[in-house]
Amino acid sequence: MKKWIAFGLLTVSTMATAQTAVDTTLAAPRIDVRSWPRMSPADFGCFMEKTLGYRDARFNCALKGYRNRGDICKTPDAYNEGPEFPDRLAAAIHPQATHVELRWEHGNLQAMSITLKGTWSEAQVRQTFKLPRAAASKLSVAEQKAHAWPENIMDTDVQYPTQGQTEVTLIGFDHMGAADVGCGEGG
C-alpha cells in the first residue's frame, strides 16, 4: 500500500510539474488587436461580423454612413456608444482570454483591454502582443522613435486586476469625460 501511495504522489507531482512547464510560455494571440484602437463602432462591428461570425444588432456590416452625434454633456450614452465584445468570443482573440472590454468615445474606440487567465510577466505579455517593452512614459525618446508605434496607439499598459489574471490595455487616445470639458459649470 505504501508503494502505491508513493507512486500516486509521484504521478501527481510529475503532472503538476508538466502543467507548470506548459504554462510558462504565453501563447500568441489568434487575432492581432493592435489595429483596434481608434476604430469606429461601425467598422469594428463589421470586423466582428466578418472575422468572428458575431453580428451586433446595430453595429454591423449593414450600417452605412455612421456618425456619432453624441454630446458628452447632453447625451453621454450616445457619446459613448459602440458594440460590446461578448465574453464567449474572447478565446477567439487569445487562448487565455476571458474578457475583452471596449471603451468608446465620440465615435472611436478610445481603449480596449483583454483579460487573460494566469499571471504573466509584463515582458511576456508585451512580447506576445508585439508591444513596446514598457508604457510610453517609461520609454526614452530614442526608444519611442525606434519602436515605430502604430499611429492609432497612444500607449499600452499591463496590469494584474486580481490574483491569477493579467490585463493588457491598448489606448488609442486620452479619455475625455464630462468633467474634462466642464459640463454643468456656469459660464
Whether 52 is in a domain gets the answer no
Question: Domain count of the chain?
Answer: 1
Whether 163 is in a domain gets the answer yes
Domain range holding 150? 71-178
Whether 10 is in a domain gets the answer no
141 φ/ψ angles, rounded to the nearest 5 degrees: -60, -40
Whether 156 is in a domain gets the answer yes
pLDDT tens figures, 145-184: 776 677 888 899 999 999 999 999 999 988 876 666 778 6
Q: Are 145 and 81 in contact (CB under 8 A)?
A: no
pLDDT tens figures, 66-90: 999 999 899 999 999 999 999 999 9
User: What's the pTM value of the predicted model, to 2 decimals?
Assistant: 0.81
Whether 26 is in a domain gets the answer no
